Amino acid sequence: MTQSNVQVRAMTPDDISLGMELKNTAGWNQLPPDWQRLLALGPDGCFVATCDGVDVGTATTTTYEDKFGWVAMVLVHPQYRRRGIGTALLYTAIDYLEERVATVKLDATPMGKKLYDTLGFADEYIMERWLGRGTKPLRVPGVEPITPDLLPTLCDFDRPMFGADRSKLLGMLINEEPNTPLCIRDGGRIVAYGILRPGYHAAQIGPLVGLQPQSVETVFRALLTAAGDQYIYNDMLLPNPHTAELLRKYGFEKQRHLIRMFRGDNRHPGHPQYIYAASGPAKG
């Protein structure tokens, strides 16, 4: 795709250093493994923009079956903004997804929402980022690690909550070091699970999913213990009526909010009332 002197090409692993430079300028929380995961999930759907032969921007997409996909990591070097580069990346990502999924989703800042409104995106709900800290070691009975053999059980539990199969993402998250994936089972069935992973500014909890607040709190406490003295982000979805109370109980404070938006027929919204932490703005 070409717009004036802007060209968009496929991203490769060699471009991760560019992605890190751009996200550091923006103050975001991703690490190189986050970019590697995005490339593995969407090897043909991640893009780099060049201007006058210089790599200056990125965008990524992640698809979940043919149901929906996410646009994320739309970043442009500050010196090259207001030249149509972000728009070129955004249109490339949207075009890519609309050939593959029924619904295009993204997590917008309040400022970015003004643009997405003009492109036919509608609000789904608010996502809030909260910041807290890990706790001293606590004994949390009933929680167990999610081992690779539990992945099919995990995905069966997660699929209706999220709205689509994300087994590839979950498989990566439970197998990557030094992530901490934990769950509670009842009669062999998972009833709550959560994953803690490192970040640039703070560790990240997500996904965190469960049917009963008590089970989710138990997993949450175990993740706080695993985090030790680190700062932690938790991206909560407002349709869940219990998360804010849980986060306040453990000393978390709200930092900012994003607007989860969609374009197309949102036929697979899942059940966000059971999601206590999203996997993050880049992947839903």
* 3-61 tens-digit pLDDT: 458 899 999 999 999 999 999 999 999 999 999 999 999 999 999 999 989 999 999 99
pLDDT of residue 2: 42
Closest CA to 235 of 215, 209, 211: 209
**CA-derived radius of gyration, the chain:** 19
pTM: 0.95
Looking at residue 43, its pLDDT comes to 95
C-alpha 63/C-alpha 65 separation (Å) is: 6
Which residue type is seen at 101? V
| Contact by Cβ (8 Å): 89, 54 | no
Alpha carbon dihedral 148, 154, 155, 158, in 10-degree steps, equals -150
Low-confidence stretches of the chain (pLDDT beneath 50): 1-3
Domains and CATH numbers, the chain: 2-101 (3.40.630.30), 129-277 (3.40.630.90)
> Long-range contacts: 137-142, Cβ < 8 Å, 24+?
137/225, 138/221, 138/222, 138/224, 138/225, 140/218, 140/221, 140/222, 140/225, 142/184, 142/218
Facing residues of 107 across strands? 260
* 127 Cβ contact partners less than 8 Å away, ≥ 6 residues apart: 107, 235, 236, 237, 238, 257, 258, 259, 260, 278, 281
pLDDT at 5: 86
- Integer Cα distance of 26 and 118 in angstroms: 24
Residue 47: strand pairing partners: 10, 59
User: 155 to each of 202, 213, 248, 271, how far by Cα in Å?
Assistant: 27, 20, 29, 15
Neighbour tally for 265: CB within 10 Å: 9
d(CA 272, CA 61): 21
pLDDT of residue 261: 98
SS3 43: coil
